[in-house]
Amino acid sequence: MLEKRRFIVGAVLIAAAVSYLIYAGVRTTSMYYFNLDEFLSSREAHADEDLRVKGWVRHGSVHWDARTNNLAFELAHQDDTDPVPVAYRGVLPDMFAEGREVVVEGRYAAGQLAAHQIMTSCPSKYEPAKTGS
């Protein structure tokens, strides 16, 4: 009986350790994932906080300097409305292009998103890329 109790204690300890790791992991690493509208309505409240925003690269807004690797563009709705300026320094992702859906990870401050990562969508493995918009 003592062995059984010991064993249960071991199992409970493992379960508790896993739960704690998950809890602590979520607390320290989670961030908001907004679509553009959610971001626009709550951006002031989340200034200077890491977050992700999903939107589209506004047509005609991309400025890319291959010498300094500075990228500036505007994140907007699919129809190019409600633009938010984004600044990024780093290598341009292959899939990045005007009109593409992207997820920007970064902080909002002084009216623009300072991105530290830009995630581009695959034009999908499972559905054909729609040409045009």
Partner 1 sequence: MPELGRLAICLALLFAAYATGVSIVGAIRRRRHLVRSGAHAAYAVFALVVVAVAILLRALLAHDFSLEYVAAYSSSTLPVQYTVAALWGGQKGSLLFWAFMLTLFTTIVQVQNRERNRDLMPWVTATLMTTAMFFLGLLTFVTDPFERLPIAAREGADLNPLLQNYWMTIHPPSLYTGYVSASVPFAFAIAALATGRLGDQWIRSVRRWSLFSWFFLTLGNLFGARWAYEVLGWGGYWAWDPVENAAFMPWLVSTAYLHSVMIQEKKDMLRVWNMVLVLLTFSLTIFGTFLTRSGVISSVHSFTQSGLGPFFIGFLLLVLVVSGGLVAYRFPELRTAATVESFLSREAAFLFNNLVLVGIAFAVFWGTVFPVVSEWVRGVKITVGPPFFNRVNAPLGVALLLLAGIGPAIAWRRASPRNLWRAFATPVGAGLVAAVALLLARVPLGYAHATFALGVFVLGTIAQEFWRGMRARQAMLHESAPRALSRLVGKNRRRYGGYIIHVGVVAVFVGVAASSAFRVEVQQTLAAGQEVAAGKFTLRYEQITKQDDPHMSRLAAVVSVWRDGRQIATLAPEKRFYKKPQQPTTEVAMRPTLTEDLYLVLGSYDEESGLVTLLAYVNPLVSWIWIGGVIMALGTTVAMWPTLAERRAPAYALGAARVPAD
Residues near partner 1 (CB under 8 A): 3-4, 6-7, 10-11, 14-15, 17-18, 21-22, 24-26, 28-34, 38, 52, 54, 65-69, 90-92, 94-95, 101, 103, 119, 121-129, 131
The residue type of 61 is S
Query: At its nearest, how many Å lie between partner 1 and the CB of residue 113?
Result: 16
Whichever of 60 and 90 has its CB closer to partner 1, that residue is 90
Question: Rounded to the nearest 5°, which phi and psi values hold at 5?
Answer: -65, -45
Whichever of 5 and 110 has its CB closer to partner 1, that residue is 5
Cβ atoms 25, 65 nearer than 8 A: no
Give the whole-angstrom CA distance, residue 69 versus residue 92.
Answer: 8
